A and B are shown apart, each in its own frame.
Chain A
Amino acid sequence: MQHICNGDQQAFNLLYNRYKDRLYYYFFRMLGNSETLANDFLQDVFLKIIEQPGRFNPAYPFKTWVFSVAYNLCKNEYRRREIRKDCPATEKQVNPELPVKISNEELINRIFLSLDELNPEHRSVFIMHYREGFAVKEIAGMLELAPGTIKSRLFYTRKFLADKFQHLKGEIEF
């Protein structure tokens, strides 16, 4: 980050290439699987890094900081949608005619479609923990919540998925 503050283009490219895919995935799954929004928000995060590098506290890991910025951008987007009410709530329900057997790819898609029914905090906690491998304590720091709250959100999300995929109980159980 110090190099970026000094205008080192190579350092910026290195940072971008290290985090672009992970942040893109996070935004894509957080913002209704939209490629356009994921690209826009990815750009916004890095613009914040360019414009205000001083906001980064070197006492904390960069990864934690950048994901907390990403989470706050998503939260603001949800708030904007709430105010405008122009974006219909995600009504993408899982197909009621569910197969008894399911491929991993299909299962992942169905998991994220189901997670769209939960609030962004649950979804964010789920992605940060299972995809990014953040510990409960780290997520608590990023989302400014108690670790107990994060644990309960993870538990609730798994329970929610277990209920959603009850038909697959013979094959997979959450």
Chain B
Amino acid sequence: MNFKRQKMSEKQLADLIRQDTIGKPAPHVEDQLNYVFMLKSVRSKARQNSFSGFLGWIFSMNGMGLKASVASVLFLFVMIKPELNRHSGSDVTADSTRVQQSVVIDSTLFQLDSKTINDSIF
């Protein structure tokens, strides 16, 4: 390019700067980036197959309306269905002297006679 005895125009200056060559980036940069990219995609694929996304959504502030309505439906369902209510109406007492009622595995309520128990033991 000949710049002889002339004021360098915008284009000439741009052409001059574009002629500049400084070499190429080191090949190890590309290798490292490819490795990091591969790791990242493997990690994100593993995350896609897990529940973490769903759990993240549950505990995030997104879709609060939907979450509130689902929670209210569940709450109403529990309130309406008495069998889902765990309160059995019997108090479990274990004061080591007298047992009035005890709940056994098959949910049958046994009325134990405290007198009999005391007699058999002492």
Contacts and interface: CB of A to CB of B under 8 A. Distances in A.
B8 A173 contact: yes
A78 interface: no
A171 B4 contact: yes
B25 A130 contact: no
Q: Which 9 A-B pairs have the closest CB atoms?
A: A7-B41, A24-B25, A130-B17, A173-B7, A130-B14, A172-B3, A108-B20, A39-B26, A131-B17
Interface in B1-52: 1, 3-8, 10, 13-14, 16-20, 22-26, 28-30, 32-34, 36-38, 40-41, 44-45
Nearest to B23: A35
A20 B30 contact: yes
A51 B44 CA distance: 11
A12 interface: yes
Contacts of B14: 129-131, 133
B1 A104 contact: yes
15 contacts: A7-B40, A12-B37, A20-B24, A28-B22, A35-B23, A39-B26, A50-B33, A104-B1, A107-B16, A108-B16, A108-B17, A108-B20, A130-B14, A130-B18, A131-B20
A56 interface: no
A95 interface: no
Of B5, B29, B44, which is in contact with the most chain A CB atoms at under 10 Å from its CB?
B29
B interface bracket (residues with beta carbon within 8 Å of A):
20 to 34
B33 A46 contact: yes
A39 B22 contact: no
Nearest to A154: B10
A25 interface: yes
B16 A174 contact: no
A156 interface: no
B16 A43 contact: no
A21 interface: yes
A173 B13 CA distance: 10
Given A43-B33, A104-B1, A174-B8, 7 more contacts: A12-B34, A33-B22, A108-B16, A130-B10, A130-B13, A131-B17, A171-B4
A2 to B, nearest CB: 14
A57 interface: no
Contacts of A131: 14, 17-18, 20
B17 A171 contact: no
Contact of A21 (B3, B16, B24, B38): B24
Contact of A47 (B1, B16, B28, B33): B33
A28 B6 CA distance: 30
A7 B45 CA distance: 9
A9 B41 contact: yes
Nearest to A5: B44
B30 A16 contact: yes
Given A172-B8, A173-B8, A21 B25 contact: yes
